Copies of this chain bind each other. A is one copy, B any other.
């Protein structure tokens, strides 16, 4: 009976149903594999502009997570690799460093105070829900880290991309006034995204 929670808050699994917009399996068809995900041992490919790769395990890869939240992700950073400032609108993130040295931080709006820290192997750091945060590899070797998120639908807002790479574009009037830069600079940055 309680299995029903695994796939839904309901009490009937005799036929496939939608819960959180994820199809439910008939209980008799459920196997241990529905609760398993493999591959977090495989490093992501960090040969890109940002020198960063993320492998997020959400309910899409992992039906057993449905209604339980707490997706898991692996993060890989090349030297100087950056997970650029972003926020998760619906989740707090707890990050553990497995290898290397990672500089992390988040800002609060009361006086824009920055909370930052250099994390080493075995350190854990929490990024409160909705706050803008970043991670940056300050060492000379690769960094491997794992994160968990407190919602199965955390979402992610990449600040620079969503402002300067918006589609359609946000008008120069707004961006130049918000960032107090001239419109030429705005246009230049937009052209990068």
User: Digit string of A2-21 for contact with B (CB within 8 Å is 1, else 0)?
Assistant: 11111011111100011111
Give Cα A21 to B62, complex, Å: 20
Give Cα A87 to B94, complex, Å: 21
How many A residues touch the partner, as a band? 35 or more
Provide the residues of chain B in CB contact with A40, threshold 8 Å.
Answer: 96, 122-124
Residue A46, interface by CB 8 Å: no
Provide the residues of chain B in CB contact with A8, threshold 8 Å.
Answer: 20-21
Q: For the complex formed, measure the closest distance between the CB of A9 and the CB atoms of chain B, giving whole angstroms.
A: 5
Chain A stretch 161-178: residues in CB contact (< 8 A) with chain B: 161-171, 173-174, 177-178
Nearest first, the 4 closest Cβ-Cβ pairs linking A and B are A89-B130, A10-B21, A2-B155, A41-B122
10 A-B interface contacts by CB (under 8 A): A2-B154, A4-B21, A6-B128, A11-B59, A36-B125, A38-B124, A72-B96, A89-B129, A112-B162, A132-B163
